[in-house]
Amino acid sequence: MTGQTRQRVRENELKVKIPVLLYHRIVEKPVNKVTDTSIRNFRATLEYLQKEGYTTLTSKQYVAIMNGKIQPPEKPILLTFDDATPDFMETVVPNLDEFGMNAILFVVTDWIDGPISFSEEHLKGICDKENISVENHSFNHDEKIWGLNGNGRSPITREQAEEQITKANEYIEKITGRRPLLMAYPYGSYNEIVKEVNRENGIEFAFKVGYPDEDRYAMGRHYITEQSVDEIAKMIAV
Give the pLDDT confidence of 174-231 residue by residue, as tens digits.
999 999 999 999 999 999 999 999 999 999 999 999 999 999 999 999 999 999 999 9
Distances (CA, A) of 20 to 155, 165, 191: 26, 22, 21
**E-assigned strand segments in 48-204:** 55-56, 76-82, 103-107, 132-136, 182-184
Does the model's pTM come out above 0.95? no
Which residues of 137-181 form beta strands (DSSP E)? none
43-99 pLDDT per residue, tens: 999 999 999 999 999 999 999 999 999 999 999 999 999 999 999 999 999 999 999
Nearest to 104 by CA among 137, 81, 73, 75: 81
24 neighbors 77 (Cβ within 8 angstroms): no
8 Å CB contact between 172 and 109: yes
List pLDDT tens digits, range 131-180.
Answer: 999 999 999 999 999 987 656 678 999 999 999 999 999 999 999 999 99
What's the mean per-residue pLDDT of the chain? 93
